[in-house]
Structure 1
Amino acid sequence: MSFYLTALLQGLCFAGLALGIFISMKIFKIPDITTDGSYTLGGAVTAVMLTHKLPFALVLPTVFAAGAVAGAITGFLHTKLKINALLAGILVMTALYSINQLVMGRSDLPLINTPSLYTILFISGDANINTFWILALFVLTIIALIGYLLKTDFGLAMRATGDSETMIRALGVNTDTMKIIGLALANALTAVSGYLMSQLQGFADINMGIGIVIIGLGSVIIAETLISRFQITSVWLSLALVLAGAVAFQLVLAFTLDIGVDAKLLKLVTALFVLLIVSLPRLNFFSKPL
């Protein structure tokens, strides 16, 4: 596969991760580092279940539940034990490193000759195109479900918790519960990204989640820059831009490799790119006209 096709597929895989960070950081204003561990957890659970020939229909619900539990624990530590949100996420992420090793039983688990989501479903005769359509339909379904959730009364309460916790608490909403559910949902979506990526790359690795939060954060920042610039209020369009941000982030990295930049410098390029998009709203040509 070319750099760009691979980047497109990886961008679609990272959509769940980006949506998860969008929920935790942009809706609840919580910097959740659990992401690094829950992403790997999703990949580890997927790899173990597939290699043990467990029913394929059970894999995704199990991955979703595993990620949700990880996020809920972070939420519990933050809301009930009053631990700083960042520290709570770090504690759970650190614990998940050992848990993921216990789940896999080793540091990496290959999925060679193992049926995957991309082989059990058939849309196109070309394997790469088939993978693209499966991922596209999968991700669009997730966006539709999350968009619908955020438009319901429950979703509005979640959004209000992040915007004005004091006000929504005065209306009788349990904000602690909202935060726990929100972090559970965010990490469940992150685990789903691990589910998709482990099958795409053909293995799960204990270190696959290290630094992964920067990819999700970069994707969300791209979306947030556009949302702020064009004053977008639509939930659906905001989620679509988060997806676009995830794909765009990967395409930039693919372009970097395509022009001959040493792969060893990819992390440096990633950091510089995130720095650039964080700085964009502060540059003069992004300022609002008087």
Structure 2
Amino acid sequence: MSAFLIQMQGAVSQGILWGVMVLGVYITYKILDIADLTVDGSFALGGCVCALFVVEKGYSPFVASLLALLAGALAGLVTGMLHTAFDIPAILAGILTQLGLWSINLRVMGKSNTPFLKVDTMISQFSDLTGLSNGWAALIVGLAVAVVLILLLYWFFGTELGCAMRATGNNEDMIRALGCNTKITKIIALALSNGLVGLSGALVAQQQKYADIGMGTGAIVIGLAAIVIGDVLMRKAISFWAKLISAVLGSVVYFVIRALVLRIGLDANDMKLFSAIFVALALCIPVAASKWRVHKAYSEDGGNL
């Protein structure tokens, strides 16, 4: 296999694993209409918890990944409590939790970086079982996890509680008037979102074979970029399951684009700037185009009067 194809395969597998994180961001950003900055900390928390239990404690990587999910959910629960119980704005509550998680992540691992070099991971175990390369194993494991999560989320958001969460994001006053406790729905949604983010952090740590307390830096930007890309690619999608798929698809496309940009010579240190500009343009262009269409229609109508 050529170097280019290997690089693209790595980008796709990385995009799918990060896509689990994007599903979590989708819950808060698209369903609750909250840009939850806890993500940067809970993503690293997932990787750190996974490293602690796999490398230091000798746990199964599958069990360690579930514990990472629970740790991320706990971080989301803290943000939810700060926001709902103490009326702290959601974005500030996320910043406070993210800030605290930096120290917590360092405490969890006891150092800034933990390698997975001499232990089994979900990916290496699947590779040994099937005889596939680590690249293909990472891609298949990530795809299997993403499919299972999309099915579970589709089922959950069809339940009474899930529908209440979606209604909270659409019209909080209306759903509160119907007797629903929107504080509870927000807390559960934030916990669920960050649980998925923590799981993604654990999977990415296993794929790259190390966990680092800074591995979540900029995760929220990547999540927003992936969601915007997915919306553009599947802008005609109406069903909820298609929108969930678009989040993962957007993550894959984002990482493929990033791999291509790096391949043509962009300095890796400039990737954060590239991501920020990309997200800003993706968010600004549709708004500018909509305003232009309104202005053009108004001008044409005015000319006919």
Normalised-by-shorter TM-score class: over 0.9
| Aligned equivalents of 1:236, 1:194: Cα separation in 2 | 23
Structure 1 pair 180–74 and aligned structure 2 pair: CA distance change class (3 A): same
Superposition deviation, residue 30 in structure 1: 1.5
User: What one-letter code is carried by the residue in structure 2 that aligns with 1:99?
Assistant: I
| Pairing 1:11-90 to 2, within 5 Å after superposition | 11-51=15-55, 52-90=57-95
| Pairing 1:146-185 to 2, within 5 Å after superposition | 146-185=153-192
In the other structure, the counterpart of 2:216 is 209
**Which sections of structure 1, spanning at least 5 residues, go unmatched?**
none
User: What one-letter code is carried by the residue in structure 2 that aligns with 1:213?
Assistant: I
Superposition deviation, residue 126 in structure 1: 2.9
Q: CA RMSD in A?
A: 1.9
In the other structure, the counterpart of 1:108 is 113
Contact 1:225 1:280 in 2 (8 A): no
| Aligned equivalents of 1:144, 1:47: Cα separation in 2 | 28
| Aligned equivalents of 2:287, 2:87: Cα separation in 1 | 34
Superposition deviation, residue 264 in structure 1: 2.3
In the other structure, the counterpart of 1:276 is 281
Contact 2:40 2:219 in 1 (8 A): yes
| Aligned equivalents of 1:172, 1:83: Cα separation in 2 | 23
TM-score of the superposition, structure 1-length normalised?
0.94
| Aligned equivalents of 1:25, 1:284: Cα separation in 2 | 22
In the other structure, the counterpart of 2:8 is 4
Superposition deviation, residue 58 in structure 1: 2.2
Which of 85-94 and 124-133 deviates more?
Answer: 124-133
Contact 1:34 1:93 in 2 (8 A): yes
| Pairing 1:117-266 to 2, within 5 Å after superposition | 117-121=122-126, 122-226=129-233, 229-230=235-236, 232-266=237-271
Contact 2:161 2:185 in 1 (8 A): no
**Which sections of structure 2, spanning at least 5 residues, go unmatched?**
298-305
| Aligned equivalents of 2:293, 2:9: Cα separation in 1 | 35
Percent of aligned pairs with the same amino acid: 37
User: What one-letter code is carried by the residue in structure 1 that aligns with 2:263?
Assistant: D
Which of 277-286 and 107-116 deviates more?
Answer: 277-286
TM-score of the superposition, structure 2-length normalised?
0.89
| Aligned equivalents of 2:61, 2:256: Cα separation in 1 | 31
Superposition deviation, residue 154 in structure 1: 1.6
